[in-house]
Amino acid sequence: MRTALAALRILILATFASAVQDRPMPLSIADGRNAPPPGAPVVVVTVRFSAAVSGPVEVVRLDRAALTRRWHLAEIARTMADDGRIDVRGPAAVETLLLVRQSGRPGYLLDGPFRWPVQPATYHVSGGWRRTIRGRTLQAGSGTPQWVNASEEAPRDAWPACEWITDRDWECVGVPLKEAGIVLSEAPARLSYFEPTGAVDESGVETAACRTAAWGRLLVIGFAGGAPAGGATPPAVVPRRMQAPRARPQSVRLGAELDTRVTVDRLSPRIFWVTATQPVEDGWVELMAGGRAPVRLDTREVAAAPSSVPLRIDLEPAARLAGTVSAGRGVVVKGADVLLYRFVTDTGRAEKRPPKRILLAETRSGDEGEFRFENLAVERYELVAMHTAYGRVERVVDPDGQEIDLTLQRPSYAIGRVLRDGVVTPGVQVSVLPDLAAYAASEDVTEFLGGETTTGDDGRFSVALAPRGAMEVRVGDAQVGMRRFQLGAAETLARVVDLGTIDLSPPPAVTLVLEGAEGCDLLLTGPSGRPGMAVVRARRIGPAMFDARVPEPGRWSIVAACGRQERSVVPAFIDVPAAGPDMSVRLSWPLNGSVERDMKRSNEGYRSCSAPSAFVRKFLAAMLASSAESAATSAPSHPEPARPELVGR
């Protein structure tokens, strides 16, 4: 029986030796071997492992001479690990490193460096399985590589140890197998970092690609009071910056957008590596998790500390805001828009200007007027509630757990009655739009927003006006016709503005004539200078004739859409009156466009024509400045054709 077990043991070791004989070393070693000191006795050392080790193992014994840095291969032995222990023989008093690995298992165990004892002893390997990370810098001259992880404990031994192998190649030996982190190499004005790929080969080596940045920081997220229960939303790190409207830089109500200058890599569920390729002078990094209050860190503060120092943040339990939107006297308001803003600390702000606010979230009030915002930090907020019929209110609040009552302030109203061809017209859209100049100059656009509604069965409507600024009431749309009413500043209007009876009868039909328009459509955009302009495609009614039915009077621009290209026509604008006979307008191609078309038809290979002379430019300017009415002639009446196709608004 013993003979059979011994034979089986030998067979297992032989098979294992065949599997590992070509296995590369997970650390760089020097060529040749060190000769043991003359007369050094061979001593047996028993190695015990805290990690689970059993079956055949490969024990690599490395040694090095005094005052040298590189290790030499001394011996590779294959043996069986019985009950988590192995016996290793080696010369006494030699500085030694033991490396243990198994076939089919990534990583290795390390013990040392230590001096081999002069008499039999037992050594305990307390560390777990490890790996080696290797990489190559983009250029020589970088600083010393170092392994940066999230651990707050000092290393218990000499590992991990990082060093240069060549002027550009490095390796970090003894990195815990499952530990998340980053390898840094800092040089003046340049940071090289290496993120492990996550794939460890059988020899225990993992590669890492080199990237460079202006700065980098390891963020470690913790949870005050303990980690949340399973199933909670995992933490996230998102770089953001303020999003100010370009047309209104003075606005105090801003949005937030993703800061694409900053990159965030998740190294583990709670460890993140944050970098940027350039200095960032604004923006913030937001740390959040389900059920926890978000933390916002100024990006400049994140970048200011050394990259090798991890930043640890514990997320506190979240606060919430909840309440009801009402119109007073116990009337709850369903479907009100409720916006949540946070205030921006701006030390350079003038005292007379209101503070800037950033939109965090928005919702709509429920059937009972209720609203709720979760996962908030404990800070001051502003709530803005708006409803198209009941008005608007804003209120500064703290998330103290109390229910909030947002009572809307009743606005002024515009009323009227809509007819079309003398018939009451229900279901017509009625909207209040701000004056463009006032809107562009405003600091708070929410104060310039009015309501919208539709006419009832009797054609009547009542729509809320904006609480501030001049505005326009727009009745109808491109399908049924449209009328606009300019109102003064809201502060000067009566509580009720009566617009009277509004006739949506269509303006005169326009027949457009354009020779040489084969393969082209005519598009009309307008009315100019009004908010909410429409685009109408004229209907072709003949080889060179188009029927245009615009929804409202005013100045309309005309272009020809020829395939994927747009071409100018003369005149470029026409003025359509509110009433009167049908009108006909003859269009023509600009002189340079006509020359180009004729040259293409001649198949002479020309693709463009020269710029027009000063005389031609003067002639074209005079034509464009002429009134469209001078080109209009009355046309005989004819049955009303189908309404033109609406292609955009």
Q: What is the CA radius of gyration of the chain?
A: 39
pLDDT at residue 630, rounded to an integer: 35
Q: Determine the Cα angle at 48 with ends 43 and 50, to 5°.
A: 155
Structure tokens at 583: 């009108």
Q: What pLDDT score was predicted for residue 232?
A: 67
Q: What was the pLDDT predicted at 646?
A: 32
Beta 311-315 vs 215-223: how paired, if at all?
parallel
Give the integer Cα–Cα distance in Å for 532 and 339.
Answer: 24
To the nearest 10°, report the CA torsion of 377, 383, 386, 390: 130
Show the tokens assigned to 329.
């006297």
**What is the percentage of the chain residues whose pLDDT exceeds 70?**
85
Q: How far is CA 598 from CA 515, 559, 561, 595, 610, in A?
A: 13, 19, 18, 5, 14
Beta bridge pairs of residue 380:
none
Beta-strand runs (E) in 299-424 = 311-315, 319-326, 337-343, 357-364, 370-376, 381-387, 391-397, 404-407, 413-420, 423-424
Secondary structure (H, E, C), 29-53: CECCCCCCCCCCCEEEEEEEECCCC
Q: Span 589-594, mean pLDDT?
A: 72
Determine the pLDDT at residue 85. 81
- 303 three-state secondary structure: helix
Pick from 403, 421, 409: nearest CA to 504: 421
Neighbouring-strand partners of residue 396: 382
More confident residue, 217 or 34: 217
Q: What CA–CA distance (Å, rounded) separates 113 from 99? A: 10
Residue 637 and residue 644: Cα distance in Å, rounded? 18
pLDDT single digits (tens) 154-194: 777 889 999 999 989 999 999 999 999 999 998 777 899 99
Residue type at position 518: E
pLDDT mean across residues, the chain: 83
CB 238 within 8 A of CB 258: yes
DSSP collapsed to 3 states, 560-613: EEECCEEEEEEEEEEEECCCCCCEEEEEECCHHHHHHHHHHHCCCCCCCCCCCC
Q: Is the bond into 543 cis (omega within 30 degrees of 0)?
A: no
Q: What are the angstrom distances between the C-alpha of 94 and each of 28, 61, 77?
A: 19, 11, 18
- Lowest mean pLDDT across 170-179, 191-200, 353-362, 597-606: 597-606
For residue 422 the two structure tokens come to 């003398």
Where residue 624 falls among pLDDT bands split at 50, 70, 90? very low
| 3-class secondary-structure state, position 160 | coil
**pLDDT at residue number 393:** 95
Angstrom distance (rounded) from CA 100 to CA 94:
19
Highest mean pLDDT among 212-221, 347-356, 585-594: 212-221
Question: Sign (positive/negative) of CA torsion 86, 90, 95, 97?
Answer: negative
Cα end-to-end span (Å), the chain = 93
SS3 470: coil
* Highest-pLDDT range among 4-18, 214-228, 395-409: 395-409
Angle between helices 614-625 and 591-601 (to 10 degrees): 120
Can you tell me the distance from the alpha carbon of 440 to that of 445, in angstroms, rounded to the nearest whole number? 9
For range 361-387, the mean pLDDT: 96
**Contact yes or no for 415/499 (Cβ under 8 A):** yes
Total Cβ atoms within 10 A of residue 269: 10
DSSP character for 426?
T
Task: Give tens-digit pLDDT for 252-279.
Answer: 999 999 999 999 999 999 999 999 999 9
Q: Could you give the CA distance from residue 109 to residue 127 in angstroms, rounded to a whole number?
A: 7
Within 8 A by CB and 6+ apart from 501, the residues are 416, 417, 418, 419
pLDDT of residue 614: 43
Average pLDDT, integer, range 393-398: 94
* DSSP-derived pairing of the beta strands 130-136 and 205-213: parallel
Q: Evaluate whether 102 touches 73 at the Cβ level (below 8 Å).
A: no
Backbone angles phi, psi at 441, to 5 degrees: -90, 0
Owner of token pair 């019985």 = 82
Handedness of CA 624, 542, 528, 580 (dihedral sign): positive
What's the distance, CA 128 to chain centroid? 39
Q: What is the mean pLDDT of residues 588-600?
A: 60
Q: How many CB atoms lie within 10 A of CB 545?
A: 15
Whether the bond into 269 is cis, omega within 30 of 0: no
CA-nearest of 387, 398, 386, 494 to 444 is 386
Tell me the C-alpha distance between 273 and 196, whole Å.
12
Paired residues of 453 in beta bridges: 430
3-class DSSP assignment, residue 212: strand
- pLDDT at 59 exceeding the cut of 80: yes
Which one-letter DSSP state was computed for residue 165?
S
Give the span between the Cα atoms of 93 and 36, in whole angstroms.
Answer: 9
User: pLDDT band at 454, cuts 50/70/90?
Assistant: very high
Extract long-range pairs of 162-167: CB within 8 Å, 24+ residues apart.
163/69, 165/28, 167/140, 167/141
Q: Are strands 357-364 and 253-258 parallel, antiparallel or unpaired?
A: parallel
Is 418 strand, coil or helix? strand
pLDDT for 534 equals 84
Q: Over range 390-405, report the average pLDDT.
A: 92
Interatomic CA distance for residues 333 and 408, integer angstroms = 9
User: Can you read off the two tokens belonging to residue 97?
Assistant: 């490193």
Structure tokens at 279: 């200095």
Tell me the one-letter amino acid at 638: H
Examine the pLDDT at 80 and tell me if it is beyond 90: no
Residues 527-564 have pLDDT tens digits of 987 777 889 999 999 989 999 999 888 999 999 999 98
Distance CA 204, CA 219 (A): 27
Instruction: Count CA within 13 A, CB hemisphere, residue 1.
Output: 0
> Is the pTM value of this prediction over 0.75?
no
Distance CA 550, CA 485 (A): 18
- For the chain, how many residues are written? 649
pLDDT of residue 431: 93
